[in-house]
Chain A
Amino acid sequence: MALDLAGEERGAAPTARVRALTRLDDRPRMRRTKIALGALVCLGAVLVGCLVGPAGLSVSGVLLELLDAVPGVEVDSGMSLTQQAIFWEIRLPRVVLGVLVGAMLAVAGTAYQGVFRNPLADPYLLGVSSGAALGATLGIVAGGTIGPVGIPLLAFVGGLIGVAATYALGSSVGGGRGAVVIVLAGVAVGAFFNAIQNFVQQRYDDSLLSVYSWMLGRLSTDGWSDVVIALPYVVVSCAVILLHRRVLDVMAVGDVEAASLGVDPARVRLVLVLTATLGTAAVVSVSGLIGFVGIVVPHAVRLLFGAAHHTLLPLALLLGAAFLVLADVVARTALTPAEVPIGVVTALVGAPFFLVVLRRSKGAL
């Protein structure tokens, strides 16, 4: 009897250990399930985006057409040449652009919120938006000579100048006060650039409508050129941010504790803000200022799937892409043949959705 008891006692610790290790094994699997779910939602959104439109394309046609594009596979999708052209030159580029823009804005928003520990931080926080808006406005006002190629370029350059000014200003007066000063500098730079932009806009009121439509954001149907412009920036930027997923978790405990855990907070902030900004500037230059994605998607993911960045970042990427593609579907179908600016849709659809998530989770932000 006594022996048995002793045996039981000795057995207890290893059992607990095995149980703990099993639970540990569950963790990555659960994470993979979540990410797979996100990928599925994203693919579904892409498919919907390809299917919906004035020219009706069939599901099987689209799938077979995609399969046909795989090198070495020859299948007949049964689509007419016109349908094929619509799919390859109009639908797909627009959907892919939506994926890039949505993913970039959501990932950049997550990164900004992480490094600034501020739930209200969004990709436009540090003057990207006002800088890009000023650049685009100048391009639009200058008219024909600069044209459709020049406007994205000017927007891109304007966005980078905006952030560079913010960072230079913030770190010159910061004196080690870090995040808060940089955010405040962003507010100041934004106000300054907005003032110039408003002034220019008012002087050339004949271009008001174009400027306005650019600011509200839209995804173009000009074939693959915009995708080609944005793609490299988005890939590099998202990859760098995803590699920092563990570091972003560490940043959440504050600069002092993060530093004591072996992370250099100022350096991480600089690297992540620069890459996130570069990507954001690239997508803003081709899509205009699409609001709400960068702030709603990360928070919704956080509330639904947890705040740890190893899950949060990939899910924000996938669901941000899905969200923007679906918003774009609404934007081009709601008032056919007219298009609703996509920025209006993201806010109109996103705000109620976000409120529902907020209510259901009942968690604090």
Chain B
Amino acid sequence: MATNSIAAAVPAAGIDERQHSIITKGKVKSRIHCTDDSLAGAVSQRACVYCGARVVLNPVTDAVHLVHGPIGCATYTWDIRGSLSSGPEMYRQSFSTDLRERDIIFGGERKLAACIDEVVEKYRPPAVFVYSTCVVGVIGDDIVAVCRAASERHGTDVIPVESTGFISGNKVVGYRAAAEALMRLIRPKEGEIVEPSRKVNLLGEYNLGGEKWLVERYLRELGIECNVAFTGDSTVAALKQAPGACLNLVQCTGSMHWVAMSLEREFGTPFVDINFFGAENTAESLRRIAAFFEDEEMAARAEALIERETNRIAPVLASYREKLAGKRAAIYVGGAFKAVALIRQLKDLGMEVALAGTQTGKQEEYDRIGDLLDEGTVIIDDANPSEIERFLLETGVDVMAGGVKERVLAYKLGIGFVDHNHDRKNCLAGFDGAVRFAHEVWVAACSPVWRHLRPARETD
């Protein structure tokens, strides 16, 4: 760009290249611009390939997660997720090869091999995931070869995760790197046989706040046993049994669609999309699962569960609906799966969604989001703080749902906030999760603190 006088009278928050990534439903006929690389200098809320890969694999509880790179990449991701374990705690450790200047110059392969040897010797883990980071990609360490040699040396799975950060700022690319690592781990080796079963796998369920355990309880009531979740509260041994499942239930589609398709292609396992966020979605999902099994008794058990739970939570939800009627909400989250679930839940609470956006949504997903929203709603892809600030104030919302980075900004603008991030500690899935979500929205939107903070609401 050759323009002079950078600080010319361009309205704040206005970067020309961003205008096609923001649409207002009803006003604009063209589709939203998305899935591009983030614009330099726009303060995107996105992360990196490594981040995406780590999110997906981190909940594998008994694996060692070894980050091959300088110290920071590991520090930033040490035990920051809310995935719970029923046993092993290895996944909460943060291992780094801690690359230094001399490693950058002479290559980090030997150090990586030494680090693998050390962790294997100290902990004897069933598997080691080795993540590559930006620098490793540039200096050209062959982590695949180092991992292969280490696997042979120790007779344990040492799985490379090719997550060099700079390939994209889009976590989705990292999801794919993680998916490939998972397939590498679970593909039966020669001579290994995984017995087929009537169990199901739960894909894209990370057991945040124990959500996997709740879904498992529902499935058990239907008469279905859960084989393993990808990857909430999973172990390496359990993951290796994944090919034996008769069905894959896909919860977070963004991170797990590719795995579901790979499992179908390689092992012939069909998959069904499900969504356990919100009462409506939960009921629909249970019916869909029962329908797959073509078992009338199971269908009856599903209906009984849905009726019992729906009736149980109805009065509580109704009381929240009364308190929240007419309140306005904004949503800015990582993936479209979560955005869709949140829109449905907020609308079910009688609220209006005035702003919705994601970091990584795809065109079809934005179409689906658009279908759920009313005319005049602002839809935004890969938003930055300045845009979020502008639209939060313009739309005059009472509450925002999103991640940590949005929380502090919302508070500065006098707007309530609901945490729907990966580090949350509460279970927001299923029928009880719908009640807890309603409670959290009420706390955020109607807290007495806003009485003192809102009069000051203004901006420059």
* A-B interaction: no
